[in-house]
Amino acid sequence: MSFKLPKLPYSYKDFEPYIDRKTMDIHYNKHHATYTNNLNKAISNTSMINLSIIEILKRAHIESPIIRNNGGGFYNHNLFWEILIPHTKYTHPSRNFNEIIQKNFDSFDSFKDNFSKVSANHFGSGWTWLCIKDDKLTICSTKNQDNPLMYRMGCEGIPILGLDIWEHAYYLQYQNRRLDYISSFWKIVNWIKVEENYKKAKK
């Protein structure tokens, strides 16, 4: 099995002014493409060649750091592109999903605040996640290209939403203003897809 860079259902300019087209282009065609190509190289001629990306991530801790980093980079970015939507098509959480968020975080605003604080306080490169674990929603972060599907991350669960907080995701436009990038993120979240991820994770 070889992994392929997913085709994006939107153009690079569709997220302006929140994410500029140059960042989208470089992020997708350089960073994500490199993770994809390096993952394929790393698993070629190994016992992992026929495994799914989920199976690879679950074994990443006993494989080489190259497989761990590039496997995570491939999966994490796939999820990231899926949960974005151009701001002109922005969707709000459905009533049902909003109630689920409120049940876990008291309110939607409280959830956003908690998620934003975790993202802002994460030191260095990494990701912030909204996960489902034991039928509950949780927020956590991982370093580098690690994610909650990997072994003993201290951030376990099935991720349904993820925010890339590597500098390559925002530095061209926001420089050191990570807080501004995080604030912009909320204007381009595809809540329909996030709820779909939630329902899939529940099964």
Per-residue model confidence as pLDDT tens digits over 135-157: 999 999 999 999 999 988 889 89
CA end-to-end span of the chain, whole Å? 26
Within 27-140, where are the H helices?
Answer: 33-43, 53-59, 65-82, 95-105, 108-121
pLDDT at 53 over 90: yes
Query: In this structure, are residues 87 and 18 in contact, taking their beta carbons and an 8 Å threshold?
Result: yes
Q: The CATH number of 20-203 is which of 3.30.2130.10, 3.55.40.20, 3.50.50.60, 3.20.20.70?
A: 3.55.40.20
Enumerate long-range contacts of 124-127, CB under 8 Å, 24 or more apart: 125/165, 125/166, 125/167, 126/165, 126/166, 127/76, 127/162, 127/163, 127/164, 127/165
Secondary structure of residue 28 in the 3-state scheme: helix
pLDDT at 45 over 80: yes
- pLDDT at position 154 is 85
Q: How confident is the model at residue 76 (pLDDT cuts 50, 70, 90)?
A: very high
List, in sequence order, every residue forming a beta bridge with 128; answer none if it has no partner. 141, 163
- pLDDT at position 20 is 97
What percent of the chain stands above pLDDT 90?
87
What percent of the chain stands above pLDDT 70?
100
- pLDDT at position 72 is 97
Q: What is the mean pLDDT of the chain?
A: 95
Q: What are 88-136's pLDDT values in tens digits?
A: 898 899 999 999 999 999 999 999 999 999 999 999 999 999 999 999 9
- pLDDT at position 197 is 98
Per-residue pLDDT, averaged over 147-172, amounts to: 94
- pLDDT at position 1 is 63
- pLDDT at position 64 is 87
Domain limits, the chain: 20-203
103: Cβ–Cβ under 8 A, 6 or more apart, which residues? none
